[in-house]
Amino acid sequence: MSEMMVRLKSRNNLIVTQMVVTGLTVIVGMIFGIIMLLVQGGMIEAMPATFYQFLTIHGTFMIGAAALAATAIMWYFLSHYVELSKKILKINLVLFIIAAVMVTVGTFSFEYAGAWTFLYPLPALSASAWGTIGALFYLIGMLVMGVGFLLLFIDSGRAIIKKYGSLGKGLGWDVIIGKKAEKDAPPPAVVASTMVTIVNTTALLSGSTVLIMNIINVINPAFTFNPLLAKNLTYAFGHIFANATIYMGVIVVYELLARYTKRPWNSSRVFLVFWTMSTFFTLLVYPHHLLMDSVMPRWMLIMGQVLSYANGLPVLVVTAYGALMIVYKSGIKWDMASGLAYLSMLGWTIGVIPAIVDSAIVVNHVMHNTKWVPGHFHMYMGLGVIAMTFSFMYFLAKNDNGLKETMVDKTAFFMYMFGLIGVSGSFLTSGAISTPRRFATHLPEWMGPAQFGAVAGILVVIAITIFVIHFIRYISVRNKGNIGSDYYDKKLA
Amino acid sequence: MKQTKLGILLYVILIIPPITTYMESIMLVHMLIQFPLLILAGWLIGEWVLERWPYHFLKWDANGIAGIILVIFITTYWMFPRAMDESLTIWHIELFKFISLPLVGILLRNSWRKLTIIGRSFVFLNYLSMFGLMGWFYIDSPVQICNNYLEIEQQMLGWGFVVITGIMIVYVLQKCFISGTKSNVNQI
Ligand code: HEM
Ligand SMILES: [Cu+2]
């Protein structure tokens, strides 16, 4: 093996480890999701307190896993263009695992159940449902996770600035204003990574501020803070961080389709403009979580509403359009990776529609805090980001070893698709009949959709287990054989 | 050794009793002017210290991490309102202040240039959010935190922190978006 190959192998090893951790976290998280639906559907008994512990673990693990997977995707492809630090990638994974353990201990051993949004002053004011220790385990765990991701984005920012000159140039601003030709524009993977670097650094800084604030308040409840500012910071963190996963995940769509169709996916000027728009919108739309807080400045709420319409759309449009164009008459061979990449675009597109509906203030008055909300984000997280994740896994398996996909994988693909549409559909239905979200106990007339969702959820977990098994098979094969048939890697080597 | 002389001069000025008393009588000046000046004095004196004991610094703090951790600990300690309060009433805490903060300066001078750019950015961004939090904390606190300072002074200090945070944000933005010079690097 050449030196280059050794380097590539060690890089891929890290990415593979990270994806395995993700896959397992997703499975565990989904099982808790199913249990919650079973409880809500009245099919099994559980104390409400237990339900809220599950809700906390599910939300935290899922968002965490989605972020971990998405950063792996971003890292893998971005490292083809700029020089990233493997050490930082490793540190992030280690911190993530430590954080996951802390969160689990806080939730299960010390009964913290304040949900992944840890909205002030809930961590401290639990009516004795949990104590200081549980809250501290959870909050400090989240802080540890934040440290890892912050390091990662500092590194990507550093690398992009080093290569392209500034983050603005990473977004292609000099191409937009015409100082540079379109053909010299940064590739889509770099544009997306720059965007995410900007928004996630912001999110993590506001998140860490509000986390430490919560920690102070938990330790000494005499120190109180302005709850409205706390809520703003919390959702600036939560919204952006969750939302950014899809902007990292989408990199696999760009890179994969370019490879499969052997056509380059270049950044056009429109593409760059739209990504820049989404960068700003993503930073500004979080007030849509505060539409019920009438004390918020009115202009912020209106901004939250209006920009929510526009938030994801620019990127979605250029990406969906680009994806259609690149495939058109390309003679692409469909397999699991490209199929999942396409499915993710579908999930993203359908998921955005109910989200946009809900961010209208009039609709929000009705739908706020109903299950409509998990309905839309399960669609674009579950069918969007998670599909991108597994698309990436199948891509790695195929590119590295040409591991064969079987009928089982194909069946799993459809199980996954219909299962997740079922889960989201059941949430949306619940929302439409005004079932509140985050209620451990449902009235009898609310139970039907929850029961249906639980069954659909089981399908999803089976499908995802099959995906993960395929990936683990690839690892065992790859340890024997050699690696690196990635077209772009070959060029590097 | 020009810097060292300046540093010593600054330090001496800072410990002249009327000046010390005056600075400490206003909360904002105490925390946001006296503290940083003490650190600056240490940083200047660091010129001589680093030259005098280069091997020690090489041996104990080769990559800057040990030093910066100590810096973080000391500065975090001094951000506790209680520490500041006690320095006014307990003489050995005051003494500790006049030793530890210049030490921060010396350590900083040694560590900062040894840190990688990732390390530096990380430390900087952490202080950014910490100062933001401090601003919030002091402005919002419903109670008088220190025995020696009034609530209104607390709020002034808080706004001071907010201004500093704002300046740091502007600095980050210009660093990331403007100062890039190598625009035409276009290797694959
Ligand atoms: C088999 C698949 C899944 C099932 C059965 C499931 C089930 C659930 C249930 C029952 C809830 C609580 C709904 C309520 O508020 O009453 C929930 C919330 C949530 N789920 Fe899922 N879920 C699944 C997949 C996912 C995925 C893939 C993600 C993200 C990547 C995700 C992220 C979340 C988040 C962020 C919440 C909100 C937690 C909170 O309200 O604090 N879930 N899920
Ligand atoms: Cu949102």
User: Which class for B188: exposed (0-12), middle (13-18), buried (19 or more C-beta within 10 A)?
Assistant: exposed
| pLDDT band per the 50, 70, 90 thresholds, residue A493 | very low
Nearest CA to ligand 1 atom 34: A59
d(CA B22, CA B27): 10
Whether A492 has a pLDDT exceeding 70, the answer reads no
| Fold entry, domain A3-492 | Cytochrome C Oxidase; Chain A (1.20.210)
Write down the mean pLDDT value for chain A.
Answer: 90
B89 touches chain A (CB under 8 A): no
Q: Is residue A423 lining ligand 1, measured as CB closer than 6 Å? A: yes
Give the distance (Å) from ligand 2 centre to CA of residue A245.
13
d(CA A430, CA A425): 8
Which residues of chain B lie closer than 8 angstroms to A206, CB-CB? 129
Write down the mean pLDDT value for chain B.
Answer: 90
Most confident segment among A398-402, B75-79, B142-146: B75-79
- The type of residue at A294 is S
Q: What is the pLDDT of residues A264-319, one digit of tens each?
A: 888 999 999 999 999 999 998 888 888 788 888 888 888 888 887 777 678 888 88
| pLDDT band per the 50, 70, 90 thresholds, residue B185 | very low
Whether B188 has a pLDDT exceeding 50, the answer reads no
Partner-chain residue, chosen from A151, A169, A226, that has the shortest CB–CB distance to B180: A169
Contact A209 B178 (CB under 8 A): no
d(CA A397, CA A405): 10
Q: Is residue A382 lining ligand 1, measured as CB closer than 6 Å? A: yes
- Select the residue from B127, B136, B145, B165 to test the A interface by mutation, using most A Cβ atoms within 10 A: B136
In chain B, the residue whose alpha carbon lies closest to the alpha carbon of A230 is B136
Q: Residue A256 in contact with residue A344, Cβ under 8 Å?
A: no
pLDDT on residue A366: 79
d(CA A278, CA A427): 27
Q: Residue B27 in contact with residue B144, Cβ under 8 Å?
A: no
Partner-chain residue, chosen from B118, B142, B177, that has the shortest CB–CB distance to A167: B177
Whether A360 has a pLDDT exceeding 80, the answer reads no
Partner-chain residue, chosen from A154, A166, A180, that has the shortest CB–CB distance to B118: A154
State ipTM. 0.90
Ligand (nearest to CA of A358):
2
* Per-residue b or e along A236-274, where b marks 16 or more CB atoms closer than 10 Å to that residue's CB: bbbbbbbbbbbbbbbbbbbbbbbbbbeeebebbeebbbb
Q: Is residue A34 lining ligand 1, measured as CB closer than 6 Å? A: yes
Name the minimum distance, in Å, from the CA of A168 to any CA of chain B. 5
Q: Is the pTM of this model over 0.95?
A: no
Give the distance (Å) from ligand 1 centre to CA of residue A51.
12
pLDDT on residue A353: 80
A436: β partners: A370
Q: What is the pLDDT of residues A55-103, one digit of tens each?
A: 999 999 999 999 999 999 999 999 999 999 999 999 999 999 999 999 9
Q: What is the pLDDT of residues A311-348, one digit of tens each?
A: 767 888 888 888 888 888 877 888 999 999 999 998 88
In chain B, the percentage of residues whose pLDDT exceeds 90 is 73
Ligand (nearest to CA of A355):
2
Contact A225 B128 (CB under 8 A): no
Whether A490 has a pLDDT exceeding 70, the answer reads no
pLDDT on residue B187: 36
pLDDT on residue A481: 55
Pick from A263, A415, A254, A390: which is nearest to A319 by CA? Answer: A254
Tokens of A315: 């990127």
In chain A, the percentage of residues whose pLDDT exceeds 90 is 65
pLDDT on residue B180: 54
Q: Is residue A378 lining ligand 1, measured as CB closer than 6 Å? A: yes
User: Which class for B151: exposed (0-12), middle (13-18), buried (19 or more C-beta within 10 A)?
Assistant: middle
Whether A210 has a pLDDT exceeding 80, the answer reads yes
Q: What is the pLDDT of residues A121-154, one digit of tens each?
A: 999 988 888 889 999 999 999 999 999 999 999 9
pLDDT on residue A88: 96
Q: Is residue A30 lining ligand 1, measured as CB closer than 6 Å? A: yes
- Select the residue from A205, A206, A280 to test the B interface by mutation, using most B Cβ atoms within 10 A: A205
pLDDT on residue A480: 63
A437 touches chain B (CB under 8 A): no
Mean of pLDDT values over A193-205: 97
Q: What is the 3-state secondary structure (H, E, C) of A66-121?
A: HHHHHHHHHHHHHCCCCCCCHHHHHHHHHHHHHHHHHHHHHHHHCCCCCCCCCCCC
Q: What is the pLDDT of residues A366-385, one digit of tens each?
A: 787 899 889 988 998 999 99
Mean of pLDDT values over B66-88: 92
pLDDT on residue A355: 78
Q: What is the pLDDT of residues A401-436, one digit of tens each?
A: 777 888 999 999 999 999 999 999 999 999 989 999
Pick from B67, B9, B84, B68: which is nearest to B41 by CA? Answer: B9
Give the distance (Å) from ligand 1 centre to CA of residue A66.
12
d(CA B127, CA B150): 26
Mean of pLDDT values over A6-31: 88
Pick from B97, B112, B132: which is nearest to B46 by CA? Answer: B112
Nearest CA to ligand 1 atom 24: A30
Q: Is residue A437 lining ligand 1, measured as CB closer than 6 Å? A: yes
What letter does residue A382 receive in the DSSP assignment?
I
The residue to mutate among A37, A378, A381, having the most atoms of ligand 1 within 8 angstroms of its beta carbon, is A378
| pLDDT band per the 50, 70, 90 thresholds, residue B184 | very low
Contact A165 B180 (CB under 8 A): yes
The residue to mutate among A53, A62, A71, having the most atoms of ligand 1 within 8 angstroms of its beta carbon, is A62
Question: Which atom of ligand 1 is nearest the CA belonging to A464?
Answer: 1
Mean of pLDDT values over B69-93: 92
Q: What is the pLDDT of residues A161-182, one digit of tens each?
A: 999 999 999 999 999 999 999 9
Name the minimum distance, in Å, from the CA of B126 to any CA of chain A. 8
In degrees and rounded to multiples of 5, residue A331 shows phi and psi of: 65, 30
Mean of pLDDT values over B73-95: 92
pLDDT on residue A328: 83
